[in-house]
A and B are shown apart, each in its own frame.
Chain A
Amino acid sequence: MSDVSGLPEDMKKAYGTASSTPSAEPSPHSRSAIIDSSPWHGLWALTNRELKKWYKNPVILLLSLIQPVLWLGLFGKAMNFNAIFTDGAFSIPGLDIPKEVINQLGNMLMLNVFGTSDYFSFLAVGMLSFIVIFTAMFSGMSIVWDRRLGTLNKVMSTPVARGSIVMSKILSSVIRSIVQAAIILVLAVLFGLSTTGITPLGVLGTFTSLALLSFGFSSIFLMLALRSTNQNTQMAIVNLLNLPLLFGSNALFPAGFMPEWLQAFVKVNPISYATDIGRQLLLGAGGMASLAFDFAYLAAFAAAFSAIGIVLSWRFLTK
């Protein structure tokens, strides 16, 4: 216990000033002199804490990759549309159509429907959006956990900006999404994604769009979790929105062949725009909208919802 006597003077001095009168000489060690009062202090510390939990636990990273990989393998490879339409997969009785013609027709059919002659590549780009959405959906869970464990209260009793608390969760979700999407892209290339049209600029553009998508969706799911103390509610919301969001986009199928009402939903679903950017930049496929419009739509989506998220956090984090 005697070790306290060895504490440096400044600690004692700091406490000494606490009991002095307000007219006392300002101490160089006083609190206000050393506390960084920029509104964003602590943002990186909070983000880093989230990320550390993630990269220090590789099992979770691997598990989160399994599902999109399964989709790629099962859906992308099993739904072998190319084989269905080419190489004598079908013939019309009584007509002797040359194989080349059938192959030609098949390729044209594929290009017409999917914008690329290979469904696996089409789906792989969709999966990039899929993993982003999936990560974003669970970003709300961490705030529910923090509330339950009391960590949120601990953080809120410090001068960290309330906006930083929410922003750190959004940022960590964005970073995680990007890393996971990059792994999925590499795996997809290994599985046979056509690399002919891939350029560094295209990859950069694609990941920018994915980051914007993640920003917007992470904000939405965090907002839903701001006051929640029950992770089961969060799970239910995730399960409810998961499939409609994915199937109500062009991630799995081209929107052109969907019924009108579904097309209307696909057109407002930001997932469609991120996927559209990926297909245009990575596969050289014809797009649903111009690149400029796609980016503008995603940027507006990200900006609007992260702004709403921060405003709500000012209001609703404190009960």
Chain B
Amino acid sequence: MTESVSLKYETNVAVGIDAGNLSMNHIIQVRELSKSFNGTTRAVDGISFEVYEGEIFGFLGPNGAGKTTTISMLTTLLRPTSGSATICGFDILKEPNEVRKRIGVVPQEYTADEDLTGYENIMFCADLYGIPRRISRERAAELLQLVELESAKDRKVETYSGGMRRRLELACGLINHPQVLFLDEPTLGLDVQTRAAVWQYIRRLKDEYGMTLFLTTHYLEEADSLCDRIAIIDHGKIVRIGSPKELKDSLGGDIIELGIQENDKEEDPTLLILGVEHVKEVKRVGPAEYRIKSELGEVTAPMIIHRLISNGYHVSKISLMRPTLDQVYLELTGKSIREENGDQTQFRRQRATLRRARS
């Protein structure tokens, strides 16, 4: 450990990262990272962000937005066209092997060997990291227990269900006790129950081991319920970054819809409502129907009703809508259906993954 730590410091000095960024809790630092394919298509276009140690960081975006390209660069599989990134203080281009030792990768595909047993697959992964047998046997047993595959460990992987395969991939990704675990679409093609189980493992890794998790997904509810922070990426650029709450708040708060029977004076109640604290916007959307945008809707709504009643209005109905990540997402990435970006390999892999998940 001492050796790697001293290395770490040398790296930081050599790369010339300024003191402000040296803060140890930035476990991943990405600076202006870009990747072009065939010189033209910019799959990732100058993105910059940090991931804090111990958080679950989600990369959210439509198909072909650049999620997998980014994860491939961070896991040293793809060379960036320009820009840089460090993981645990190591540069992904200059010291890829130091990065590889410290990360775990759970790819989108099922990469386990079908002809081998679950246990053999885990041991294979351990050998790739050069972990001595004495230790890897112990770890394999622990991890099989963690992902609840102990009873199936001596069965060939071809007999596994999609969920079991995903769990096996997870165990393989953890065999080197990584500091950062990358998960590419961890629940693609899984049914609701299995998806919930995978979420549970992911949360446990964070809570019990303080592991940093970087995951990509296009399931909004997954990002919302799992991630501490989310980056929404589209057309190779990060369009918004923040906690799920911050993102939702960025929409301007809750929507309160009121049915108001106007009083005898036939005064427009808009000004009256605008006077209530937290109310941001009032719109008359129909006869006796008003849509109010407000923060803290559950507190504000009773206050509005109270004020209306005490001014002689009669409130006939109310509905309160919290903003969802879906709304944020659609607002930021647009509603048009995406043309597939012609990435055949990606498509083929996803199809293969789905097929095996359902087998």
Which residues of A does B touch, CB under 8 Å? Answer: 1, 3-4, 6-8, 11-12, 14-19, 21-24, 26-27, 30-38, 41-42, 44-46, 49, 52-53, 56-57, 148-151, 153-160, 229, 318-319
Which residues of B does A touch, CB under 8 Å? Answer: 1-5, 8-9, 24, 53-54, 72, 75-79, 97, 100-103, 105, 107-111, 113, 115-116, 120, 124-125, 127-132, 135, 138-139, 142, 145-146, 172, 176-177, 179, 200, 204, 208-211, 345, 348-349, 352
A21 to B8, CA, bound (A): 12
Contact present for A160 and B211 (CB under 8 Å): no
Q: Known contacts A14-B177, A19-B54, A154-B111; is A7 also within 8 Å of B124 by CB?
A: no
Contact present for A151 and B209 (CB under 8 Å): no
Which of A6, A14, A32, A36 contacts B4 (CB under 8 A)? A32
Contact present for A151 and B113 (CB under 8 Å): yes
Which of A6, A26, A153, A159 contacts B107 (CB under 8 A)? A153
A-B CB contact pairs (8 Å), 20 listed: A1-B200, A7-B145, A11-B139, A11-B142, A18-B53, A18-B209, A18-B211, A19-B53, A22-B8, A30-B1, A35-B101, A35-B131, A46-B128, A49-B124, A154-B111, A154-B172, A157-B100, A157-B107, A158-B129, A159-B130
Residue of B nearest to A30 (CB): B1
Which of B77, B115, B176 contacts A57 (CB under 8 A)? B115
Contact present for B79 and A154 (CB under 8 Å): no
A41 to B100, CA, bound (A): 14
Nearest-Cβ distance from residue A234 to partner chain B, whole angstroms: 16
Contact present for A38 and B177 (CB under 8 Å): no
Contact present for B24 and A22 (CB under 8 Å): yes
Nearest-Cβ distance from residue A8 to partner chain B, whole angstroms: 7
Q: Known contacts A15-B211, A21-B24, A229-B345; is A153 also within 8 Å of B72 by CB?
A: yes
Residue of B nearest to A229 (CB): B345
Contact present for B352 and A149 (CB under 8 Å): yes
Contact present for B132 and A32 (CB under 8 Å): no
A26 to B6, CA, bound (A): 12
Chain A residues within 8 Å of B9, by CB: 22
Contact present for B102 and A31 (CB under 8 Å): yes
Contact present for B113 and A53 (CB under 8 Å): yes
A33 to B97, CA, bound (A): 15
Chain B residues within 8 Å of A154, by CB: 105, 107, 111, 172
Contact present for A32 and B101 (CB under 8 Å): yes
Contact present for B208 and A4 (CB under 8 Å): yes
Contact present for A150 and B130 (CB under 8 Å): no
Contact present for A35 and B100 (CB under 8 Å): no
Counting chain A CB atoms within 10 Å of each CB, which of B97, B107, B127 scores highest? Answer: B127
A71 to B72, CA, bound (A): 47
Q: Known contacts A7-B146, A56-B115, A150-B108; is A41 also within 8 Å of B130 by CB?
A: yes
Contact present for A150 and B209 (CB under 8 Å): no
Contact present for A149 and B142 (CB under 8 Å): no
Residue of A nearest to B209 (CB): A15
Residue of B nearest to A147 (CB): B345
Chain A residues within 8 Å of B132, by CB: 34, 36
Contact present for A19 and B111 (CB under 8 Å): no
Chain A residues within 8 Å of B176, by CB: 31, 35, 158
Contact present for A38 and B130 (CB under 8 Å): yes
Q: Known contacts A35-B129, A36-B130; is A7 also within 8 Å of B24 by CB?
A: no
